[in-house]
Amino acid sequence: MNPFSYARPTRIEEAISLFGPQSRYIAGGTNLLDLMKENVERPEQLIDITQLPLKSIEETPEGGVRIGALVSNADLAWHALIERRYPLLAKAILAGASPQLRNMASTGGNLLQRTRCYYFYDSTVPCNKRERGSGCPARDGLNRIHAILGHSEQCIAVHPSDMCVALAALDAVVLVTGPQGERRVDFRDFHRLPGDQPERDNTLADGELITAIELPAAGYAEHSAYLKLRDRASYAFALVSVAAALEIDGGIIRSARIALGGVAHKPWRCTEAEDALVGEPAEQSAFEQAAQRILQGASGFEHNAFKIELSQRAIVRALTEATEGTAA
């Protein structure tokens, strides 16, 4: 780990003014510190934001909920308002990490997790995410956990978060403040596919700080489910995960939201598949058609092609569980 300076501002404006080319914001540090220990990240300055006033959970005038960026994952998952109105989000958070990590990890930091690709973490081998143009050994190497959707010649890594999959399905909005002022980013536009810039995980500009996440009023509390398929039941990242949320009236789907994790560089949504479900009966044949639409164009590699069928089955199962109201 290289030497670095440390600052602990108490105001948002102060934190942003301190940010330089080799700075990193740090809250719980559950991912950043690991990256520093492995020499993947080598910041010259850490800006500790834990003293900023970003720890509240409150209802918005529009009927939604605003979650401060420094709310811990544990506090968010067990918050009465989230459990009651957004059980999909609570369940997704509790499916990730361990109790100890959830106590430390922040809501804003969860959005900024970096991939768990073996080659990305190994600074002795090439990786386009660490050094653009150096190569992607995962394409012909150990790629069992890697992407089947949205990958590029430059990178086939996947985003590791569980919470973000639920936030994608819930149409969350990310509130950001930076040198150019405040802005709102639809969740679907926050994370990036790798394209020819695999080193960029999201659309944040230099110095921008996540201040909050807003959820819309619709929480799909009655019909939602989070399904996570992994190699072991505890403390493992998803091979495939599905956040499914439905509005059902008289057995007919009136609204649908489906997001996948573990399959792409960002939480994966297919609005065409969601729209096609509207007006259909909430039954397996409709779910199977939706799964086919979502996975159209999916392609695997030597060790992860199994994820395509696994994803299809997972989508159908998650939608079935959502229909039955098994998210609580």
Cα–Cα distance between 43 and 23 in angstroms, integer? 6
What single letter denotes the amino acid at residue 199? E
Residue 291 forms part of a structural domain: yes
pLDDT in tens, 280-318: 999 999 999 999 999 999 999 999 999 999 999 999 999
**Which residues, at least 6 apart from 268, have a Cβ–Cβ distance to it below 8 Å?**
149, 150, 168, 259, 260, 261, 294
Looking at residue 234, its pLDDT comes to 87
Give the integer Cα–Cα distance in Å for 328 and 39: 41
Q: With respect to residue 124, please indicate whether it lies within any of the assigned structural domains.
A: no
Alpha carbon separation from 112 to 101, 115, 203, 210, 273 (Å, rounded): 15, 10, 11, 10, 27
| Parts of the chain with a pLDDT under 70 | 326-328
**Could you tell me the pTM of the whole model?**
0.97
- Note whether residue 215 is domain-resident: no
In a domain, 262, yes or no: yes
Partners of 257 in the beta sheet? 245
The answer as to whether 180 is a domain residue is: no
Residue 254 in any domain: the answer is yes
Give how many domains the chain has, as a whole number.
Answer: 1
- What is the span of the domain harbouring residue 228? 224-324
Q: Which residues pair with 173 in a beta bridge?
A: 186, 214
The answer to whether the CB of 229 falls within 8 A of the CB of 326 is: no
pLDDT for 270 equals 98
Position 326 scores a pLDDT of 56
- How far is Cα 31 from Cα 33, in angstroms, rounded to an integer? 6
**CA dihedral of 65, 84, 90, 242, whole degrees rounded to 10:** -100
Joined together, the tokens standing for residue 325 give 């109201």
Tally the C-alpha atoms within 13 A of residue 280's C-alpha that lie toward its C-beta. 19
The alpha carbon of 28 is separated from its chain's Cα centroid by a whole number of angstroms, namely 17
pLDDT at 189: 98
Q: What are the φ/ψ torsions at residue 313 (nearest 5 degrees)?
A: -65, -35
pLDDT of amino acid 108: 98
In our burial notation (b when 16+ CB lie closer than 10 A, e otherwise), range 259-282 reads: bbbbbbbbbbbbeebbebbeeeeb
Say if residues 285 and 320 touch (Cβ distance below 8 Å).
no
The CATH number given to whatever domain includes residue 231 is: 3.30.390.50
Encoding tokens for residue 310? 């696994």
Does some domain include residue 5?
Answer: no
260 part of a folded domain: yes
The CA dihedral of 209, 215, 221, 227, to the nearest 10 degrees, is -40
